[in-house]
Structure 1
Amino acid sequence: MKWTILASSGVLGAAICSCTAKTLLADNDPTIREDVSQNQSTEHTLTLKQAQVFFRHGARTTIHTIPKLDEAVYDANILRHLIPHTAFDLDMVDLVTGGPKKKSHLDDHYAKKKLSGGCVAGQLTTVGQQQCFLLGQKLKEEYIYKAKLITEDFDPSRVLGRSTNVQRTIESLRCVMAGMFGVQNLRKIAPVKVYVADSKDEVLFPNIQRCHVLKQNNHSVLFHIADKPEYLPYRHELEKVFGVNFKDHVGLNFVGIRDDLVARKAHGLPVPPYALPLWDMIELMASKMMYATFCGQHKAERHLITRLSTGPLMTYVMDNIRDLEENKRDAKKLFLFATHDSTIVGMLGLLGIWDEQWPPYSVDLRFELYENEKNEKFIQVLYKGKPMKVRGCDSTLCSLKQFRQAMKPFMIREKEFHSICNSDILEQIDKEIKEEEKGEIQTEEVREQSETPAGM
């Protein structure tokens, strides 16, 4: 399908809604692509050539629980059964070796926390399955019916499904694919191959485990940022209301408090009434904390942390575009990436469109590649279905050349990545990092949390 758009500062005229389930939080309202500016006069015809879709997993059980607050009951009989219209068999393949996927250390981490009602921490629920199924249906409308980028018959030569090696993202990918291609079609060719990477190779989220610099920053944010002047008054307010002291509980912070409350709200479980007046503050402070984790705490380290946390992923995005440009045999038309809030936060920061709002369940971030009749290529980035004017671009529709130039400072290859990650560069930039660690008792619990990205 071809799109007629107005070039200078226009927005594509196709209507698209971001996925929501009826139980989804209010901050994920559908957003419609609006028509282009009426002031523009030069028309060009563009054809969609490729789409890379990153989406957060659907609603899940909580990872963190607030001390002294009665636990919510996550009934496994209600929340953990397989929704039939999402059910088909997957074959999980290691992206590098082509063999079976390896054991997930993150799933082992979540399994240690048993929740009341029979679930464990961090599991995709029936609510989350439906959210992702609806996202798949929206993608079907956009890329199969309207743009005709691909067909409804799943074709692995044109479509690549990839997930982080975490059960909730793998299940979310299954549900998105079910919504997009239909389980009847997928069952005909099942098991359907989708790909994961070993933790040492993962770029789909900021990889704390393979980067000392990111681990240092992650630890600093999780364990020390609440002591800083910008956060301290709000921490004291939360401690008073919830009757807890952050220092008495390993890793208790704004992110953990938000996690417990949002998971309750998404599943219709009791939320303490005294938390409601604090809701906006908790959302904002937790979001700021996540941004500090994956995009740096200070302006001086912003580019460094952003590049290390999300640069490898942006490099991958640009490589996928280059493969299509060069007509490589294995180049794909559509990529479906099942990821995390940490992925989306890092990408929004890198793109210069961070809005200080936590990415909701099943939210999507897309990179669309277009070509006009002169073979000129353009990129459009959409978040929550809305075209975004990203860093270094003059409009929401950006020439590929301009976009590539804007992303170049953040792109990074393995050799340079490991060289920087193994250095003491963060300590040189941020003198507080080393001071914070003095006198700390590094228990196994502290060490495990330091090695787990904030929010995961």
Structure 2
Amino acid sequence: MVVAPVLLVVAASVGAVAATSYPAYCAKDMAATKIQPLDAAVARSLQLVQVQVVVRHGARTPWSDRICWDGYDEEWNCNIHELERPEIVALNKTWAASREFEKVYTRGDNVFRGTCNLGQMIDEGHSQQVFNGQHLREAYVGPTGLFHTTDGLDLTNTSDFYFESSDIPRTINSGMIIVDTMLQPSNASTTFDRSSKPVPWHTNDYARSTITPNPAMCPKLKWIDAAWRSSSEYVNWVNSAANTQLERDTKRVLSNYDHATLYDCLMTSKCTDRALPTGIDDDLFRRMTTREESVQIQQYLYNQSAYAQAGMAAYTKRIRDRAIAASRDQGPRFVLSAAHDTTIMPLLAALGGSAWLTEWVPYASHLIFELYANSTSHYVRVLYKGKPLALRGCTTAVCPFESLLDLTSFSIDESICLAPSQPQPALRPASEPSGRIASCVNIHG
């Protein structure tokens, strides 16, 4: 059965906030992620031929069903709903339901009190992705853009457009909101045209997905992870005086918490103005979140980004292959991949190491790959949160196409995910007295 999701948003407006009073992770200032245009003189000499966007979903509820800490009993209510209309095509005949059905998460029957399901995008997340769609439209639709106009575009043509996401509602919804905002025809009706051909949205079973590092698809990840956790660098850091004291301070104010979910629990509370447990002042909040952020970044950067490169090789190769195809006038012009923090963070680490991966990526962040051409050559520009990143060996506004091929060369190593023949490194003891850190971090954030 083919299910066609449609978004219905009720009262999804977000009031003005002072962005500086929130962690950057909350993405309260979406204007800061506008896409920086090329210098006019450079732009006049080039034609933009392809854009690939990797975007994180918008703000959401906590992703794990594990209690954040003793006493956590927050209510989460969501106004983003899905309308579904099952359809089947068989024997050259199409049967479609005559009605649309609204999926309703019944109050009282979910992990959290309220109407949100686990990890659901909240109303603010919808607003964040509308901003993203507007910024993409401003950057890539117009006289010198990738598209001169949105009128007449055939979004069902997968040779020209390719939309994908993990098979999780918050990424699917995020991507669709962006596409609908960015590529809305100038004469579009506000009502749904039932006769219009559905736009293909590509996804797959999460168990076999490579949109985030997946040990099931890349066996070497478990080996690299064990090597990192047994390394003197990691063990000494975990057992440092600062982290030992932080663990004591945390235990004084929290009980029954888990390091694998602590960052998410703290941030989903802070970003939505929910009260934190008594005793968590600004200093302790900063130290707690900095520690969890550092653990995740360390894993991705360990041993010259070995975990990140192996875990993101298959995904990176698709970006590379599409760029190569476009350089030969064969690839789609626009690709949108709606994904997770655990997509963009290892991708930054794999491509740019510690120069690129410096933070836990905020909600609705994006990594963009632009491909340009002139009469003789192709050029690339890579942007994170709308700002250009420096490519190795290149100091100009746009870099030779070979720079991208060099950055992504690890992805064509067919042995990159093969586990070594020697035994997996034995874990050395590292103090984690009140919880665990997932053996292979694959947080669906």
- What TM-score comes out, normalization by structure 2 length? 0.73
Find the counterpart in structure 2 of residue 228 from structure 1: 235
2:198 matches 1:191: yes
- In structure 2, what residue type is equivalent to 1:119? C
Find the counterpart in structure 1 of residue 125 from structure 2: 128
Find the counterpart in structure 1 of residue 50 from structure 2: 50
Describe how 1:222-301 pairs up with structure 2 within 5 A. Answer: 228-232=235-239, 233-243=241-251, 252-253=258-259, 256-272=261-277, 274-296=280-302, 301=303
Q: Are the structure 2 counterparts of residues 215 and 323 from structure 1 closer, same or farther at C-alpha, using a change threshold of 3 Å?
A: same
CA contact (8 A) 2:37 2:139 kept: no
Q: Are the structure 2 counterparts of residues 44 and 319 from structure 1 closer, same or farther at C-alpha, using a change threshold of 3 Å?
A: same
CA RMSD of aligned residues (A): 4.0
Give secondary structure in 2 for the equivalent of 1:53. strand
Q: Decide which structure has greater helix share.
A: 1
Find the counterpart in structure 1 of residue 401 from structure 2: 400
Q: Are the structure 2 counterparts of residues 117 and 229 from structure 1 closer, same or farther at C-alpha, using a change threshold of 3 Å?
A: farther
Give secondary structure in 1 for the equivalent of 2:315. helix
Q: Are the structure 2 counterparts of residues 454 and 21 from structure 1 closer, same or farther at C-alpha, using a change threshold of 3 Å?
A: farther
Find the counterpart in structure 1 of residue 388 from structure 2: 387
Give secondary structure in 1 for the equivalent of 2:412. coil
Find the counterpart in structure 1 of residue 218 from structure 2: 211
Structure 2: stretches of 5+ with no match in the other structure: 1-13, 89-108
Percent of aligned pairs sharing the same letter: 21
Q: Are the structure 2 counterparts of residues 37 and 332 from structure 1 closer, same or farther at C-alpha, using a change threshold of 3 Å?
A: closer
CA contact (8 A) 1:133 1:177 kept: no
CA contact (8 A) 1:314 1:411 kept: yes
Describe how 1:65-214 pairs up with structure 2 within 5 A. Answer: 68-76=69-77, 79-82=78-81, 114-145=111-142, 147-150=144-147, 151-152=149-150, 153-157=153-157, 158-182=160-184, 184=189, 187-188=192-193, 189=196, 191-199=198-206, 201-214=208-221
Deviation at 1:313, TM superposition (A): 1.9
Distance 1:289 1:267 in 2: 24
Matched length: 386
Find the counterpart in structure 1 of residue 346 from structure 2: 346
Describe how 1:285-434 pairs up with structure 2 within 5 A. Answer: 285-296=291-302, 301-328=303-330, 331-352=331-352, 353-372=355-374, 374-408=375-409, 410-412=410-412, 415-418=414-417, 420=418, 422-424=419-421, 427=424, 433-434=425-426
Find the counterpart in structure 1 of residue 7 from structure 2: none
Deviation at 1:178, TM superposition (A): 2.3
CA contact (8 A) 2:230 2:426 kept: no
Give secondary structure in 2 for the equivalent of 1:274. coil
- In structure 1, what residue type is equivalent to 2:404? F
Q: Are the structure 2 counterparts of residues 211 and 218 from structure 1 closer, same or farther at C-alpha, using a change threshold of 3 Å?
A: same
- In structure 2, what residue type is equivalent to 1:383? Y
CA contact (8 A) 1:364 1:384 kept: yes
- In structure 1, what residue type is equivalent to 2:247? E
Distance 2:253 2:136 in 1: 45
- In structure 1, what residue type is equivalent to 2:80? H
Structure 1: stretches of 5+ with no match in the other structure: 1-19, 93-111, 428-432, 439-444
Find the counterpart in structure 2 of residue 453 from structure 1: 442
Q: Are the structure 2 counterparts of residues 70 and 377 from structure 1 closer, same or farther at C-alpha, using a change threshold of 3 Å?
A: same
- In structure 2, what residue type is equivalent to 1:49? V
Distance 2:248 2:326 in 1: 56
Deviation at 1:217, TM superposition (A): 4.3
